[in-house]
């Protein structure tokens, strides 16, 4: 069972290493954005339900309305995917002395995974949040992340992690394997 490590990060010690879960950070407008989209979709459904309940017409207007229904359908699918990612998405870090595996999960289902040999990973470090492009004084907490070098490339995980969460996670990771050149 995963136990709290720091903030949103949970972890457990395995017999060879560790397993940690870093949930997706929800944006500030998630609580406002989701209900607005639901209202928009309900209104569109009511409108297009009326179009579909009328006798079928082979006119240009009807074809355009069917295209609009398709666009609303795609928007609905995108919205459901966004909700699933926002509320259940997480990054799993599975580390043992020989390899590190990074999994992205939604609803507990592994969507993408990358595995690296630990002897190829170095420079594990916390990257603090950057500024929002449109507002030079505001920080974007979702831009914070943990970076590392592997296979001559810089890669990252744990987007939106706070400094305290990153420090705690890096500390327990360094207990399993001493990644060269790592710091906060």
Give the domain ranges of the chain.
3-24+89-176, 30-86
Query: What pLDDT band is residue 29 in, cutting at 50, 70 and 90?
Result: confident
- Pull the structure tokens for residue 183: 């710091």
The fold of 3-24+89-176 is: PH-domain like (2.30.29)
Q: pLDDT tens for residues 137-183?
A: 777 778 899 999 998 899 999 998 999 999 999 999 999 999 988 76
- Pull the structure tokens for residue 140: 């974007």
Pick the closest to residue 101 from 85, 118, 88 (CA basis). 118
pLDDT of residue 180: 87
């Amino acid at each position: 069972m995963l136990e709290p490590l720091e903030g949103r990060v949970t972890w457990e010690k395995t017999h060879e290493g560790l397993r940690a879960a870093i949930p997706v950070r929800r944006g500030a407008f998630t609580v406002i954005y989701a209900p607005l989209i639901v209202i928009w979709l309900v209104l569109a459904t009511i409108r297009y339900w009326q179009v579909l309940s009328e006798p079928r017409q082979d006119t240009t207007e009807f074809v355009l309305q069917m295209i609009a229904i398709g666009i609303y359908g795609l928007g609905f699918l995108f919205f459901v995917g966004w909700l699933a990612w926002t509320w259940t998405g997480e990054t799993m870090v599975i580390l043992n002395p020989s390899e590190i595996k990074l999994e992205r999960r939604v609803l507990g289902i592994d969507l993408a995974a990358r595995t690296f040999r630990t002897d190829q990973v170095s420079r594990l470090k916390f990257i603090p949040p950057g500024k929002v492009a449109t507002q030079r004084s505001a920080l974007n907490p979702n831009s914070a992340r943990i970076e590392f070098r592997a296979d001559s490339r810089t890669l990252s995980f744990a987007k939106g992690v706070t400094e305290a969460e990153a420090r705690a996670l890096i500390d327990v990771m360094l207990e399993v394997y001493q990644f060269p050149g790592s710091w906060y």
